[in-house]
Amino acid sequence: MKTAFIFPAFITDYTEKEVDFLISNGININTYIEKVSSIVERDLHPFSYESGFYKNDELLSQIIAYLFGCAISDSLRIKSIEPNYVSGYSMGIYAALYAAKSISIEEGVNLIVNAYKIVQELSKTGNYGMAAVIGLSIEDIGQLINSNRLEVEIININNKHSIVVAGMKPDIKSFMNLAQNEGAMSVAELIVNTPYHSKYLLNYSGPFKDFIKSVNIQDAKTPIVSTHNQKLCVSSEQIKEDLVHNLTEKINWFKTMQKLIEMDVNTFYESGAGKDLTKIARFIDGDYKIKSIYRI
């Protein structure tokens, strides 16, 4: 039986046990922050649960999620826990690459910062958004979008009950109201202005691909399962191609988890702050267990 490290993209809620877990393994998250601050070209604050510094900024929220992913995967290895596979949910791909020993911690932040800069002209307009819906089927959501001619598309399937959409912000707002009226259990707008994984980012695949040529990406020591097409990525060329797909095209976390389960993974370690991926896994069938750092 096999294990996998899985990495979240953002941190919805901290458990406020993350820092203590890292300290118990001799790791200080602020050391990781200091290491990459020059790449971000702005003063990065020491981490605090009370501060909104990393919560209210789209780029910084990605960076802190990445750094926690790196630090927690390092902690797991200190405990002699090694993965057979790794995979990253959306922007969690960068922490997955770090855990696979394909990139350095600095190169991961370099990738995050430049991916953000490349698509920033979209986010600057304030015209785009994303939302998560729980309780409606893919068919129900598709019908709502099509019958109301909304500039909205499904960009990720978390599980059979949880879907993520992206599109024009006014249409996202309309969609959310329609989904609530349709009987969705939960509808939440994501705190981002960039329609990640949507058709609006396709024009940026070329510039991002050109940038990636300058990044030092090594062959992975641990296979990475793509959330775009669920293929195994090991060579640097495969990884570079998947990085472009991960930013500019649809992903499917549900199929990714199913693929890992099919490959005999029976223990998943959520290698990040919070419990978002553990919550999603509650509705993914299979003979496996998912462990957050608080149960190790």
Which element (helix H / strand E) includes 127?
Answer: none
Please, which pLDDT band fits residue 227 given cuts at 50, 70 and 90? very high
Tell me: pLDDT of 295 over 80: no
**Predicted structure pTM score:** 0.95
Other Cβ atoms less than 10 A from the Cβ of 255: the count is: 16
Place of tokens 């300058």: 214
Q: Is the dihedral of CA 227, 12, 130, 133 positive or negative?
A: positive
Identify the pLDDT of residue 293: 78
| Pairing verdict, β 2-7 and 85-88 | parallel
Domain boundaries defined on the chain? 2-121+199-295, 127-189
Selected from 3.40.366.10, 3.30.930.10, 3.65.10.10, 3.40.50.300, the CATH number assigned to the domain covering 2-121+199-295 reads: 3.40.366.10
Identify the pLDDT of residue 32: 97
Q: Mean pLDDT for the chain?
A: 95
Please, which pLDDT band fits residue 122 given cuts at 50, 70 and 90? confident
Please, which pLDDT band fits residue 259 given cuts at 50, 70 and 90? very high
Question: pLDDT tens for residues 135-144?
Answer: 999 999 999 9
Question: pLDDT tens for residues 37-78?
Answer: 999 988 899 999 999 999 989 999 999 999 999 999 999 999
Read out DSSP for 162-210? EEEEEEEHHHHHHHHHHHHHHT-SEEEE-S-SS-TTSGGGGGGHHHHHH
Identify the pLDDT of residue 110: 97
Question: pLDDT tens for residues 12-23?
Answer: 899 999 999 999
- Closest C-alpha among 5, 8, 4, 3 to residue 275: 8
Helix/strand number for the chain, H first, E second = 12, 10
Name the 3-class secondary structure at 268: strand
The pair of three-digit structure tokens given for residue 243, joined into one six-digit string: 């990085």
- Closest C-alpha among 108, 100, 93, 96 to residue 35: 108
CATH class label, 127-189: alpha beta
Please, which pLDDT band fits residue 191 given cuts at 50, 70 and 90? confident
Looking at residue 155, what DSSP letter applies?
E
Interatomic CA distance for residues 156 and 150, integer angstroms: 17
Identify the pLDDT of residue 125: 87
Q: Which comes out higher in pLDDT, residue 110 or 192?
A: 110
Please, which pLDDT band fits residue 1 given cuts at 50, 70 and 90? confident
